[in-house]
Chain A
Amino acid sequence: MGSVPIFFDTLAQAYTRETAMSNQKRRDILKVGAIGAAAAGLGFPSIIRAQPKEIVILGLWDQTGAFADVGPLNDRGMRMALEERGMKVLGKPIKYITRDGATQAGTSTRRAEEAIDGEGARFMIGPWSSGVALAVSEVAKRKKVVHLFSGGTEDISGSRCHRYSFQWAASPYTAAKTVVDNFMKANPKAKRWHLLVADYAFGWSVEKYIKEVGKAHGIEFVGADRHPLGEREFSNYVQKAAANRPDAVAMINFGGDAVAGAREIFNFGLTPKVPLIMSWSSGVEELIQLSPEIRENMWVGTNFYYTADTPVAKAFVKSYQAKFKTPPGYAPSAAYSMTRMLLAAFDKAKSDDVQAVIKALEGLEVNDLLGKMRVDGATHQTLRPYFFLRCKPKKAMKHDLDLADIVATGDTPLPKQYAACKDIGGF
């Protein structure tokens, strides 16, 4: 009987992967697969296929694995940005191709390389997972292609920075500073904090800066517990948090983890009495999964919120909602904005040469989705506003999607003494 539980386990894993895919996604994969098969089947020498007439841009979006639910959203945003321009830039047609990275480093790097060698892609955006993106970033460096990414690791524009990769999401420092400063402004007496941290690179870096920024406010961190990615049983963590009797609970996690954590914190009777901070939320995508009662006295830091008051955001939200009914969260918006940044760099460079586009991206200044955005040439970090929201209680909500108000934005860049990117290097 000894081998049976192991067998069950393997099956259960296969089952998890399988169930994460919806029909829509399967169809997309079939489509992508068909394109790949067609390309391979034709067997033209790569010189003919990589004709410089069209510009090939790769969206590396997960259709399977842990972020299977996010990939299709990324794809929507990127496609919308390209379609706005009629799939053309510099008078040349854009060929948009996508690959499923399966939320795994091995698969993502292999498929990215295949798209670069086989399809002639010289520009790529994605993937969603920061751990996987670090591996993909190495491919970009080796293959000399432009790579844009948005996510919670500080290493892309930090210790592992290089000339080809760019980071769209706010620096974890910017996020921590925005969240802590503005929360303390509204709740000056909440000095005892308990932290719940996702146990991987992203959680650690945000935790580090929240503690750092907290010092200036005299915050005492009465507890900090780390939970694995994909945790669904938060009662043990919350029980510990409740026993500490904190003035505020701050979560540094993302997606399903954040939703499960917020729910449990409410069930234990902490919220709405004790304020809950989500420091790095996907915004509307997470909040919509919670009931209004759970959201009461919740404070949320996010890279994008759909009520952002910029002309580009308003137009984007309007056409996104017309197409897909729900407003866009962080995932489609990041893909949308990154694509627009890349297109802006083409315009600025007046060329689709990789080095020219990189030089154009470095120091690029746009007034776009989030307002004023600038790419730091020295680190390839996008300097941009980070949003801080206060969720609305049920009676203040005007409609089902009226979830929160943007109470502040912050764009304090990472101070020099923390900067790990000493030299961005050459081509």
Chain B
Amino acid sequence: MLYALMGLGLSLITGILNIPNFAHGALFAVGAYLLVSAVGILGNFWLGLIVAPLGVALLGLLIEWAGVRRLYAAGHDYQLLFTFGLALILNELIIVIWGPVGISHLPPALLRGGVDLGFTFYPKYRLFVMVMAGLLVVATWLFLEKTRYGAIMRAGIENKEMVSLLGIDIHKLFTVAFALGAYLAGIAGALTAPIRGLSPGMGVDMLGIAFVVVALGGLGNLLGAIAAGLLIGVAQAVVAAYWTEASTAVIFAVMAAVLLVRPQGLFGIR
């Protein structure tokens, strides 16, 4: 589910803005670190969980407004260099602000420990994250499907010229899409913090997986991103139960297999 969340955010950005966002992993890390700071200041995990992703969305807003916006016409090379450089800067900033040593952050007391499901143990917090991520995916989906602005966004993926010809401010649309993508990365990071702990390089693994999800689902296809995120998560869990050593490799094996059969991705048209 977390994979779906990351993939969805990246897919929004890739699809609507048509730029490869290499800073997506760094935004994920910033979300996690902001959560820890927010919880430290506010003293409450739930408030932190609300504030931290909003902070990341704000950062996303700033990034789009100050940087990405100027590069739409410049071609993929420049966009790639910009987002990649941005990822390095964010990463170093994390080291400067929060230090290079890893940090552990505990789940709220209510969600500590595991539940005995009879056949196995499962941590309460992970169950919560699953439900939470599921709700977020559904909420994002409903927003895109059922609201007017969501429809405009989807139209933006299909045909940008047409949307702007219809008198819609396409630049505002881009900004909102980038901020929304950043928000999803941020909340994925915040939710992950108690599970995986925090370290400055934490975004790197996630970035790789997010791109796998996007490629697997079909570039810019939102439903595809959700389906691909679920597929990868399930594949990883099933393989882990029988052949633990291969559980990381399976992510890439699934991607390779799907792309060999359907180079455009599961639901892709491009």
Which residues of A are in contact with B by a Cβ distance under 8 Å? 1-2, 4-5, 8-9, 11-12, 15-16, 18-20, 22-23, 69, 199, 225-228, 231-233, 235-237, 239-240, 242-243, 256, 259-260, 263-264, 267-270, 288-291, 293-294
Taking a contact as CB atoms under 8 Å apart, the answer to whether B199 and A1 are in contact is: no
Known contacts A8-B211, A18-B88; can you find 8 more A-B pairs with CB under 8 A? A1-B215, A1-B263, A231-B248, A263-B195, A269-B121, A291-B104, A291-B106, A293-B112
Give bound CA distance, A294 to B106, whole Å.
9
Give bound CA distance, A274 to B144, whole Å.
46
Closest residue of A by beta carbon distance from B196: A232
A interface footprint on B82-112 (CB within 8 Å = 1, 0 otherwise): 0010011001100100001111111100001
A242 touching B114 in the complex, CB below 8 Å, given contacts A259-B102, A291-B106: yes
Taking a contact as CB atoms under 8 Å apart, the answer to whether A269 and B196 are in contact is: no
B237 CB, nearest partner CB in chain A, Å: 7
Closest residue of A by beta carbon distance from B259: A2
Q: Does B61 contact A (CB under 8 A)?
A: no
Taking a contact as CB atoms under 8 Å apart, the answer to whether B207 and A289 are in contact is: no
Return 20 A-B CB contacts under 8 Å, by A number. A1-B219, A1-B263, A5-B211, A5-B259, A9-B208, A12-B204, A22-B95, A225-B244, A226-B244, A227-B244, A228-B248, A236-B237, A239-B241, A256-B102, A267-B126, A268-B121, A269-B115, A269-B124, A290-B104, A294-B104
Taking a contact as CB atoms under 8 Å apart, the answer to whether A19 and B201 are in contact is: yes
Taking a contact as CB atoms under 8 Å apart, the answer to whether B100 and A267 are in contact is: no
Of A4, A259, A269, A294, the contact of B123 (CB 8 Å cutoff)? A269
B residues within 8 A CB of A290? 104
B residues within 8 A CB of A270? 114, 121
A216 CB, nearest partner CB in chain B, Å: 28
- Most chain-A CB neighbours within 10 Å: which of B197, B219, B255? B197
Give bound CA distance, A231 to B245, whole Å.
10
Q: Does B140 contact A (CB under 8 A)?
A: no
A residues within 8 A CB of B106? 291, 293-294
B residues within 8 A CB of A5? 211-212, 215, 255, 259
B residues within 8 A CB of A1? 215, 219, 259, 263-264, 270
A residues within 8 A CB of B88? 15, 18-19
B157 CB, nearest partner CB in chain A, Å: 17
Taking a contact as CB atoms under 8 Å apart, the answer to whether A260 and B245 are in contact is: no
> Which 6 pairs, one residue from A and one from B, show the smallest C-beta to C-beta distance?
A269-B114, A236-B240, A242-B121, A269-B113, A289-B102, A267-B123
A289 touching B113 in the complex, CB below 8 Å, given contacts A240-B244, A267-B125: no
Give bound CA distance, A19 to B121, whole Å.
36
Give bound CA distance, A226 to B240, whole Å.
12
Interface residue ranges of B107-157 to A (CB < 8 Å): 107, 112-115, 119-126
A interface footprint on B220-243 (CB within 8 Å = 1, 0 otherwise): 000000000000000011001100
B residues within 8 A CB of A232? 196, 202, 205
- Most chain-A CB neighbours within 10 Å: which of B22, B204, B263? B204
B residues within 8 A CB of A264? 195
B167 CB, nearest partner CB in chain A, Å: 33
Give bound CA distance, A235 to B125, whole Å.
12
Q: Does B194 contact A (CB under 8 A)?
A: yes
B residues within 8 A CB of A293? 106, 112
Closest residue of A by beta carbon distance from B244: A225
A268 touching B244 in the complex, CB below 8 Å, given contacts A69-B100, A263-B196: no
A65 CB, nearest partner CB in chain B, Å: 13
Give bound CA distance, A293 to B241, whole Å.
28
B249 CB, nearest partner CB in chain A, Å: 9
Taking a contact as CB atoms under 8 Å apart, the answer to whether A289 and B101 are in contact is: yes
A residues within 8 A CB of B264? 1
Closest residue of B by beta carbon distance from A25: B100
Closest residue of A by beta carbon distance from B216: A5
Taking a contact as CB atoms under 8 Å apart, the answer to whether A243 and B120 are in contact is: yes
Taking a contact as CB atoms under 8 Å apart, the answer to whether A19 and B91 are in contact is: yes
Of B114, B121, B208, B244, the contact of A237 (CB 8 Å cutoff)? B244
Q: Does B247 contact A (CB under 8 A)?
A: yes
